[in-house]
Structure 1
């Protein structure tokens, strides 16, 4: 049986900024529209965190039973390392999905029905990323999913449930957060190219190769900061998002320097912290501008 510490490590806490960041930016955009509602923001955060941990456990389960995690470099895999049974990890994943769904239903009851559709799509997307007979994460579509669900859906949904309307700054923030979240996945898959090729896992990094993956990572990070500057057209305070630029530059420098394997692990942490710090700055800027 896995220890509590192993369950926590298996939840991959370093990925949690990808859940917190879109809620921060979405809430900042709602505040810009004078629509901030604190308890709805907390509910949205609960949904995002539950889904993030759930998808981490789901990926652990699905990759583990396929044998693609047996020689993986990086955080502990519960099933791949045989410290927890596949059934236990699958149960943990669906428990998290259930918590996220319950909190999401509360939000839907206070807003509009289309959020129910978005939530259901998020749950389906979370499971079939690596689950099912033909997981789309094995078909080079992982980055698209991350952009849609951890960028557009999470940010715009958070804004709408609070302000009940949207603004172009929310869209810009959603694209920016989606871009950084994609960059995080690109770095992860860049690190795993050798083992993914051996096991037949066709991630985007495997398809386009290491060199183009490095270029894609740098481009996604650059896009996020360009959008922060664009948001300054609405309020100069949006430039607070640039506080994450030094941290992002360090991660980009490592990626484009042809780092491989374990040398890319700090990039994952750096990209996650970049996303969180960027979100704090942009959210604060939008709120102050409002």
Structure 2
């Protein structure tokens, strides 16, 4: 028979897994994959192989930074009243009482520590620039909702995601692999960053009414529903329109294969236009994560087979 203590420990473990928001972790995986694929395409012309171990350590570090950020967000949003019984998004572990804010914050700092440990081989390989990028990424993971100037409460959440889950992640891994920066990597970073930002934009659109009540001034809370819908449609559109760059530069498969994910992006956009914020938005959030994953995988295939 399972003891009560064992059952409680299992329940806490499950709560921590849910607090990590596993459905959103594509935002950490896709930039690493795409960056490695871009580097592979560039290096193979000189008969140089990518270092898969560096991409693996970058992936592990990125995942734990994101999980740590999610934990801190869970605890601090509860403490500030942003997560309450009126929330229509997925259940938050602190707000539901399954974990205390202290436990979740401790879990967040443990994740940041693990991210730092996995980042050591990256620093050894990439040197001082990677050290600075890693430190800033972890600090910003905390101040996304914590500290005296929480980014998510000041309308800077979208900029944070584009920067760290797009530009920094892709360019950082590309630099590790090639010891250089190239426009190709920057364009890819924008595309992946835009798609990652769709996730937070949907989240903020869904929660905008309750966020505004507790002074969590996201862009959706500041500018309203019309802006939120336009923002999401624009992020999707810019991500796909930038495929023109690849076509003009002779990367035909890179330009065309990601378009396989476009029907799902159109479906999500239409759903957000015709529906008001409700639990249905949680479905659209999951679909937008799938769009980013499909886009990134097919883009990477394009680079690998070029």
Which TM-score band (shorter chain)?
A: over 0.9
Residues 89 and 207 of structure 2 are in contact (CA less than 8 Å); yes or no, is this contact kept in structure 1? Answer: no
Quote the RMSD (CA, aligned, Å).
1.3
**1:47 CA displacement:** 1.1
1:84-163 alignment runs, 5 A limit: 84-163=99-178
Tell me the residue number matched to 1:270.
287
Tell me the residue number matched to 1:44.
58
**1:180 CA displacement:** 0.8
Tell me the residue number matched to 1:9.
18
**1:4 CA displacement:** 2.1
One of 209, 218, 223 as aligned partner of 2:224: 209
Deviations 1:69-116 (A, max 9, x none): 113222221111111111110111011111111111210101231111
- Taking structure 2 as the reference length, the TM-score comes to 0.91
Aligned residues: 289
Q: Which has the larger radius of gyration?
A: 2
Q: Secondary structure at the match of 1:134?
A: coil
Deviates more, 1:106-115 or 1:142-151: 106-115
Distance 2:83 2:112 in 1: 22
Distance 1:147 1:279 in 2: 15
Gaps of 5+ in 1: none
Deviations 1:228-259 (A, max 9, x none): 23222331110212121111111111112133
State whether structure 2 residue 74 is matched by structure 1 residue 57.
no
Distance 2:74 2:184 in 1: 35
Gaps of 5+ in 2: 1-7, 44-48
One of 257, 269, 276 as aligned partner of 1:240: 257
Tell me the residue number matched to 1:190.
205
